[in-house]
Amino acid sequence: MSQIISTQEVQNNNIEALEIDFDQYIMERRQDCKSWNQAITGSLSNRIDQCEIAIEKLDKEIDFCDERASSIELDRVSPPDYQSWLLENYEQLLNILYALKAWFRQFQDDYEALHHALSNRDAMTAEEIQRDLEEPSEFGLPTEDRTQSELEMDTDMEDDSEN
């Protein structure tokens, strides 16, 4: 005997599949970001590249949440309260992901500016940027403590390799 499943049941199951443990997802993304941040070491060029990798990973997470939010918006069967709740949670996730992306983008920009300042022997600007990089972030992610001389050695080594 075959069982007939109504379209409404299928659509309800589809939207329920979009429900995730939002608190767990947020915690995992923050752990990912701490892990990615800890990987931002080495030369300034490597730090810039590692920031770019973190940004690309966040872009994938943003796309994932955007696709799910779009699917929820297209659903015409689920209760409106449930849809609103799901959309609200995905919007919160997107806000966090965009903020984390901006955080990594700022670090990338700062590392690029520091590299430029050191390459141009602009010690005053380099020191100012380095101080900014050492300040705790709003997300509580750890920042690296590296001295100015270590960063200058990195830049000198990079300059030598470019010649």
Considering its fold, how many domains does the chain have in total?
A: 1
- Nearest Cα residue to 57 out of 27, 25, 96, 97: 97
Tell me whether residue 1 is in a domain.
Answer: no
**Tokens of residue 158, six digits:** 């990079």
Tell me whether residue 11 is in a domain.
Answer: no
Q: How much of the chain exceeds pLDDT 90, in percent?
A: 38
CA atoms within 13 A of residue 115's CA, in its CB half-sphere: 18
Tell me whether residue 3 is in a domain.
Answer: no
Tell me whether residue 14 is in a domain.
Answer: no
Q: What is the mean pLDDT of residues 11-25?
A: 70
Q: What is the mean pLDDT of residues 9-29?
A: 70
Report pLDDT for 136.
Answer: 61
DSSP output for 36-101: HHHT--SSHHHHHHHHHHHHHHHHHHHHHHHHHHHHHHH-SSS-HHHHHHHHHHHHHHHHHHHHHH
Of 8 and 116, the structure prediction assigns the larger pLDDT to 116
Most confident by average pLDDT, 1-10, 27-36, 72-81, 135-144:
72-81
Report pLDDT for 127.
Answer: 92
pTM of the predicted protein model = 0.69
For 26-55, what is each residue's pLDDT tens digit? 888 888 878 877 878 888 899 999 999 999
Contacts of 158 (CB under 8 A, 6+ apart): 43, 44, 45, 115
Tell me whether residue 5 is in a domain.
Answer: no
Tell me whether residue 117 is in a domain.
Answer: yes
Look over the chain and give the mean of its residue pLDDT values, rounded to a whole number: 77
- Taking the C-alpha atoms of residue 17 and residue 135, their distance in angstroms, rounded to an integer, is 41
144 pLDDT more than 70: no
Report pLDDT for 57.
Answer: 92
Tell me whether residue 98 is in a domain.
Answer: yes
Contact between 101 and 55 under an 8 Å Cβ cutoff? The reply is yes
Q: What is the mean pLDDT of residues 54-64?
A: 94
Name the residue range of residue 55's domain. Answer: 19-162
Report pLDDT for 15.
Answer: 60
For 70-120, what is each residue's pLDDT tens digit? 988 888 888 889 899 999 999 999 999 998 899 899 989 999 999 999 999
**42: phi > 0 → left, psi -120 to 50 → alpha, else beta; which?**
left
